[in-house]
Structure 1
Amino acid sequence: MKKHLLISLLSIFCFITAKSQSKTVDTLVDVGNHKIHFKIVKGKGIPILFDSGGGNDGSVWNSILKPISEITDATLITYDRAGFGTSTIDTLQTNDAKQGIISSIEDLEIGLKKLGYDKEIMLVSHSYGGYLSTLYATRHPKLVKGVVLIDVNHSYFEDGYIEKVLATQDKLIPQWKKSNKGIYYMSATIAKTVKIMSKLSIPQNIPVVDFVNGIPFYKIPDEIERWKNCHNKYVENNPNVTGIIAYGCGHAIWMDNPPLVITAITKMYANSSKQKTEIQERALQYTIQAFNEDKKEQLAHNNSEDDLNNWGYELLRKNENEKAAEVFKLNMLLNPKSANTYDSYGEALLKINKKEEAIAMYKKSIELNPENKNGKEVLERITKETAK
Structure 2
Amino acid sequence: MSRTRPPRRRTRRALSAVALLAVTAGIVTACGEEDSAAPKASPKAVAPASSGAGQADGSKLRMIDSGGHRVAFHITAGHGPVIVLDSGGGEDSSYWKEMVPRLHADTGATVITYDRAGLGRSEAVPGPWDVEGAVGDLKTGLTELGVTKGVILVSHSQAGEVATYFTKENPEVASGSVLVDANLPPFFTDEEIARLVAASRPEVDAAKKDPTTPANRQLIATAENFTTAHQAYNKVSWPESVPADVIVSEKTPFDGSPEDAQRWRAAAASFVRQAPNRTLVTATGSSHDVPKDRPDFVVERIEQMVSAQG
TM-score, normalised with respect to structure 2: 0.74
1:159 maps onto 2:194 in alignment:
no
After TM superposition, the structure 1 = structure 2 runs for residues 213-362 of structure 1, keeping only pairs within 5 Å, are 213-218=249-254, 219-273=256-310
Identity %: 29
SS at match of 1:178: coil
After TM superposition, the structure 1 = structure 2 runs for residues 1-388 of structure 1, keeping only pairs within 5 Å, are 23-91=58-126, 94=127, 96=128, 99-154=129-184, 155-170=186-201, 171-175=205-209, 177-180=211-214, 181-218=217-254, 219-273=256-310
SS at match of 1:77: strand
The question of whether the paired residues in 1 share the 8 Å contact of 2:149 and 2:172 is answered with no
Cα distance in 2, alignment partners of residues 245 and 149 from structure 1: 12
Select the structure that is richer in strand.
2
- Cα distance, 1:147 vs structure 2: 0.5
AA partner of residue 80 (structure 1): D
- Cα distance, 1:41 vs structure 2: 1.0
Determine which structure has greater relative contact order: mean sequence separation of CA pairs < 8 Å that are 6+ residues apart, divided by chain length. 2
* Structure with the greater alpha carbon radius of gyration: 1
Cα distance in 2, alignment partners of residues 176 and 129 from structure 1: 25
AA partner of residue 174 (structure 2): V
The question of whether the paired residues in 2 share the 8 Å contact of 1:84 and 1:182 is answered with no
* CA distances 1:333-368 after superposition (whole Å, capped 9, x unpaired): xxxxxxxxxxxxxxxxxxxxxxxxxxxxxxxxxxxx
* CA distances 1:29-48 after superposition (whole Å, capped 9, x unpaired): 11132111111111112211
Flag structure 2 segments of 5+ consecutive residues without an equivalent.
1-8, 10-56
Cα distance in 2, alignment partners of residues 270 and 74 from structure 1: 10
Alignment coverage as a number of residue pairs? 248
Cα distance in 1, alignment partners of residues 96 and 71 from structure 2: 17
- Cα distance, 1:168 vs structure 2: 3.2
TM-score, normalised with respect to structure 1: 0.60
- Cα distance, 1:173 vs structure 2: 4.6
- Cα distance, 1:161 vs structure 2: 2.1
RMSD: 2.0
AA partner of residue 261 (structure 1): V
Question: In the superposition, relative to structure 1, how do residues 271 and 216 fare at CA in structure 2: closer, same or farther (>3 Å)?
Answer: closer
Cα distance in 2, alignment partners of residues 78 and 87 from structure 1: 12
The question of whether the paired residues in 1 share the 8 Å contact of 2:155 and 2:180 is answered with yes
Cα distance in 2, alignment partners of residues 267 and 193 from structure 1: 33
